[in-house]
Structure 1
Amino acid sequence: AIEGILQGSEHGTVLFGLEQDRKRQRIRSYSLETYEEKVVEDTSTFEALVPSLADARRRRERKFTNSQVDPLDQDAITEMMKLADDEKIVFEEE
């Protein structure tokens, strides 16, 4: 900026350039240019601490995958309606 003023540029042009540089810096600081994938090394220790976590994750994933079924496909509907070994239906009064 100082070099621009010394070379005869107008103040408005120099200030505009500084504002643009600042804006680019701010956008660059918000953006994620690189990413690292987390590598799961040894889950046995964590599974020992929370033994039912894997089962809960499987139930949740099963719930999400079974939520979108083609209503015209009878086989898909029948397969979705089957209960897994760890699922049950309980009828209660409120």
Structure 2
Amino acid sequence: MFPARSPLGGQFVTLGSLSPTPPVVDDECMQLNSCRSAVLDAVESLPALERETLALVYYRGMSCDEVADTMQISVATVRDRLHEGARRLLAGVGDL
């Protein structure tokens, strides 16, 4: 076996003497991963223009006016896309 330094004392130990420990995954962690996957799936299923509008407002922190200027659309269209995108997201994730 190849030697490896012990994380505790700096002594060398063989890799074969180290027992693999499975990662700790509790129910809460699994539930969070499930929720995260559901949200990502819902976001990816949005039409591209709604997804882009939501991303600019919620992830980039842009105002509706800034998004309208960036996308060269009216502020009313930005608000419509935000409303429709949020509605679709809620429908897509159900009762998380």
Using CA pairs below 8 Å that are at least 6 residues apart, which structure has the higher relative contact order? 2
- Structure number with bigger Rg: 1
Give the structure with the higher percent strand: 2
**Greater helix percent: which structure?**
2
TM-score (norm 2): 0.25
